[in-house]
Structure 1
């Protein structure tokens, strides 16, 4: 029995993003130090999945096997669960309910103090505050879900989890962007909440049968806030002028880095990599993982878009199997994909009902029949 194209694209996006996350995860805090990477992994570039070092830089996942993904995919899984639970599109309230239901308290309470000295501990406590504060407030039945991200630090948490919002809005990048901003408001505010709309729009455009990378990139620009759109255009221009991936990275780092590696930096970087690689899956995730700064997030976001564009079949089988095997304490990505596919079918049924209603409303003469005594 043949499977629908949507299933391949959904799995391509979910596994594609998780693989990118797992590629960049083992080196993320070292991604700006290729000498250290070479000393630890025997190469200056990570081009395949590797184990996390027992004494490596990513304290939360030390000693984990290759294919283990990080917080990027953990948060994204909750978005998938929200979509499945809601049987369709989601907004802030639907995501907030799933966040309280599925997020694990230990995610916030792992103590880096024994592993990270001084400033690093402060940074990680600030980082977890971004995701912990809304969690505690929602459990306490504090203000509306849309208010939870107010005052949070600029970051990329919302952007890195948002691709499934594009999947459930397949072919409708405008709606994907609007839903993404609403969902993002649970964790972030300002441009950290609006920039994810560009990524969701790109994924929605990538779900269109026969779509090309140019249509995907343009959808992200067209359906994003002005600041994000301008920075995406700038990143794509830098990619077009670059001689290779290393040259693009240098140009981007010279001209476009921000104080924090937040969504306004990482979303444009992702679009630049997709432009540079023309959406090629393997190249997108490998270059993302080696882009430095928040490399696992860039690789995960690029992989989510490229995976949706091309489908599951372009992903290396051994990488897919590694991800399946390495995350036993997380929801199975195949099951999450099935949940999104079922929700997409529900959206299809709702769409047909809506079209039928519009046909009836817009039929010539329908107004004269309304309220008729005959």
Structure 2
């Protein structure tokens, strides 16, 4: 189990770091700038070096992004609480973790609060819980709907290892403090997929079946559509165009460059017929790769669009299934070194926390059984 948890964290971090330079690019642009990306690459642009740049993010060179920073913050909250979490824990402990504590942020090349690196929909956590004082269970209302909650739900899967239904329910509750609609739904499915992947008898098909069966509304339709499109491909290189066509009817943003703009019709607004792109595509790449961790990551990286989140989610799910031995040692060492942290040490903390939560769950379950007359 420790090795599988290391697979989650290293798989997510490596996918995040590899996908960072290709984020926002089309496959054609990726090929022009980099060729096929199979390792950590330099930033796609030197804009971060320009004097006066107010947010000089060095997106490349193995640097993790906000996806992994939020996963790390969530694991710290679980370690602090040593219990399953609720939306109230997000309002209190996670907001404290991202707003009041400094960590090394590689893209900024300095220590700073995580919130200084977050995109506006993720900064919404601070606005709603500290400034507006909204009920945590409803705080996600009004936020831009995106993958912001889904991208850091792998810890929920870890703490509910082997129980995807419980992981889904906990993630739906937690994500309500941050997201709404299909952004919240994707968070539940991401947690469930990781929880299933951590089962000792998990398979690629069991993980995909969990995603299909638990998903609701547009998220379910999008997952089914891209998985059906993926089923006729053996390699990600031939699949990208078909996957995008399968995803497009459910994506509220047709042009990736429009994702950060407002006033674009129904883009990023609540809907029961739409879905975020990142999770369905991550599952499709996982399916095409036959569950192989690095193939899943590389497929996501070279898909483009929100490549770091796609590759990070896919890497976490595949890493959960296959464990840390499915990832190259040189990548694990480099992602630790350049980001000035140890994902192996973080995995040990996660494992210890998960074991305690599981022990307490067992005691509660046995107590419940003893109160029932069969």
Please state which band the TM-score falls in when normalised by the shorter chain. 0.7 to 0.9
Aligned partners of 1:152 and 1:189 also within 8 Å: yes
Q: Distance in 1 between matches of 2:367 and 2:19?
A: 48
The answer to whether 1:93 aligns with 2:91 is no
> How far does residue 138 in structure 1 lie from its aligned partner after superposition?
1.6
Map 1:111-150 onto structure 2 (within 5 A): 128-140=119-131, 142-150=133-141
Secondary structure at the aligned position of 2:62 is classed as coil
Q: Distance in 2 between matches of 1:322 and 1:78?
A: 21
Aligned partners of 2:59 and 2:65 also within 8 Å: no
Aligned partners of 1:177 and 1:200 also within 8 Å: yes
> How far does residue 198 in structure 1 lie from its aligned partner after superposition?
1.1
Aligned to 2:19: 24
**Which is worse superposed, 13-22 or 194-203?**
194-203
Aligned to 1:266: 278
> How far does residue 149 in structure 1 lie from its aligned partner after superposition?
1.1
Map 1:1-374 onto structure 2 (within 5 A): 6-29=1-24, 31-32=25-26, 34-35=28-29, 37-38=30-31, 40=33, 43-52=34-43, 55=46, 62-63=57-58, 66-104=61-99, 128-140=119-131, 142-242=133-233, 244-257=235-248, 258-260=251-253, 264-328=276-340, 332-362=342-372
Where structure 1 has 5 or more consecutive residues not aligned to the other structure, the ranges are 1-5, 111-124, 365-374
> How far does residue 218 in structure 1 lie from its aligned partner after superposition?
0.7
Larger proportion of helix: 1
> How far does residue 275 in structure 1 lie from its aligned partner after superposition?
1.0
Tell me the C-alpha RMSD between the 2 structures. Answer: 2.6
Aligned to 2:261: none
Q: Distance in 2 between matches of 1:61 and 1:161?
A: 23
Matched positions, count: 336
> How far does residue 64 in structure 1 lie from its aligned partner after superposition?
6.2
Residue 61 and residue 159 in structure 1: after superposition, are their counterparts in 2 closer, same or farther (change >3 A)? Answer: farther
Residue 319 and residue 348 in structure 1: after superposition, are their counterparts in 2 closer, same or farther (change >3 A)? Answer: same
Aligned partners of 2:235 and 2:289 also within 8 Å: no
Aligned partners of 1:158 and 1:187 also within 8 Å: yes
CA offsets per residue over residues 296-340 of structure 1, 9 Å max, x none?
110000000000001111111011111101112xx6423332222
Q: Distance in 1 between matches of 2:279 and 2:329?
A: 27
Aligned partners of 1:148 and 1:185 also within 8 Å: yes
Aligned partners of 1:8 and 1:311 also within 8 Å: yes
CA offsets per residue over residues 336-362 of structure 1, 9 Å max, x none?
322221221212221331243234324
CA offsets per residue over residues 268-312 of structure 1, 9 Å max, x none?
111111111111001000000011211111000000000000111
Q: Distance in 1 between matches of 2:137 and 2:369?
A: 35
> How far does residue 228 in structure 1 lie from its aligned partner after superposition?
1.4
Q: Distance in 2 between matches of 1:349 and 1:244?
A: 42
